[in-house]
Amino acid sequence: MKPASTLHHEFETLFATEKGFFKHIIARYFNGAQQQDVLQDFSLHLFTLLAQKQADNAQPFDSRAWLRTVLVHFCISQLRKDQAQKNGVWRQTTVHHVLVAEEYAPDFEFQIQTLYLEALGCVSKKEALVLKMKYEYKRTSKEIENRLGLQHVDVLISRIKAKIKKKLGRIEIDWL
């Protein structure tokens, strides 16, 4: 691998030379201030590619066709992310519930805690751990997947909730 100063100099030279080319392609996909954001994100992506692939083969970075392909794929990826956020895909993966009590009600809190423990008793230890990580420790689904070696944690959580609702015989458990 090349020294960081050499890599940084090569990146700055490449980016300064092709910046107008990059802006022209980005303008086909994005408008206004979003263009500058995408250009900045792409510069990070390009630097990462340069660090990874420059040692193996420097020729692709000399080719505008290859740079155009990389940038077009990056722009399409950004558009997909933006579209997913507009459709609410990202909002559906994390849920935040804020419960605000009108007055202090220790009996009600005790009932909720009892019901919560009863719900956790309806499932296996691993399923209970998944629920605790998600709702008590506020971990993301990706983090739970990585730590427990599971796949599709969101689907698993939905199935666990359905299992609890069925075992408790309650359909209206909205807080779960």
> For position 36, which CATH number holds?
1.10.1740
pLDDT for 109-143, tens place per residue? 777 777 777 877 888 888 888 888 888 888 888 99
- Are residues 13 and 76 located together in one domain of the fold? yes
d(CA 129, CA 157): 11
Give buried/exposed letters for 88-119 (b at 16+ CB in 10 A, else e): eeeeeeeeeeeeeeeeeeeeeeeeeeeebeeb
Asked whether the CA dihedral 45, 46, 48, 53 is positive or negative, the reply is positive
Q: How far apart are CA 85 and CA 29, in angstroms?
A: 17
Please check whether residues 148 and 121 belong to one and the same domain: yes
Q: Which residue has the tokens 């990059």?
A: 22
| Cα(117)–Cα(54) distance, integer angstroms | 55
> How far are the Cα atoms of 26, 29, 87, 174 from residue 32, in angstroms, in the given order?
11, 11, 22, 42
Task: Read off the CATH number of the domain in which 149 is found.
Answer: 1.10.10.10
Nearest by Cα to 93 from 137, 123, 149, 134: 134
Instruction: Give pTM, 2 decimals.
Output: 0.46
pLDDT of 22 above 60? yes
C-alpha–C-alpha distance, residues 176 and 171, integer Å: 11
Same domain, 18 and 56: yes
Claim to verify: residue 110 and residue 87 sit in the same structural domain: no
Task: Look at the chain and report how many structural domains it folds into.
Answer: 2
Phi/psi at 111 (5° precision): -65, -40
Question: Does residue 3 surpass a pLDDT of 80?
Answer: no
* Cα–Cα distance for residue pair 77/133, rounded to 1 Å: 30
Whether 58 and 110 map to the same domain: the answer is no
Is residue 13 in a domain? yes
Same domain for 54 and 10?
A: yes
What's the confidence (pLDDT) of residue 128? 87
Q: At residue 72, does pLDDT exceed 90? A: yes
Asked if the model's pLDDT at residue 172 lies above 60, the reply is no
The last residue of one of the domains, among 34, 57, 92, is 92
Domain that holds residue 40: 4-92
Residue at 55: amino acid letter: A
